[in-house]
Amino acid sequence: MVKAYLGVNPTTNKQVNLQKKGFSNKKEAQLFYNRKIVEIEKNGFSSQRADTFKEVYGLWLETYKLTVKKSSYNRLKLQFKSIYFLLLVIKK
């Protein structure tokens, strides 16, 4: 298990903590931790969260499309086309 404080995200001014379980040994956990540190030093803190329901829905729809028939995909796409809360901002 890896638990670490990574600092403060300058964009959100919030603490960034790392917690991950499921490693088979200590060396694997240490390797994961080191890679995360290097990634943050190289790219900074990145937010992969979408801001609106429409963006989250778009990300989900792409994966959903791969798991169902075309008719099911088209039916669902039409249902969500007219939903009024697509511009709703998602807060954590």
* Integer Rg of the chain from CA: 19
pLDDT for 56 equals: 80
* pTM metric for this prediction: 0.48
pLDDT for 89 equals: 73
Between CA 92 and CA 44 the distance in angstroms is 20
**92, pLDDT greater than 70:** no
Q: How many residues does the chain have?
A: 92
Helix (H, G, I), strand (E, B) or coil at 69: coil
Q: What is the pLDDT of residues 11-69, one digit of tens each?
A: 778 888 999 999 999 999 999 999 999 988 888 876 555 577 778 888 889 999 999 99
Which of 39, 40, 49, 36 minimizes the C-alpha distance to 10? 40
74 pLDDT tier (thresholds 50, 70, 90): very high
For residue 92, give both structure tokens.
Answer: 């954590």
Helix (H, G, I), strand (E, B) or coil at 74: helix
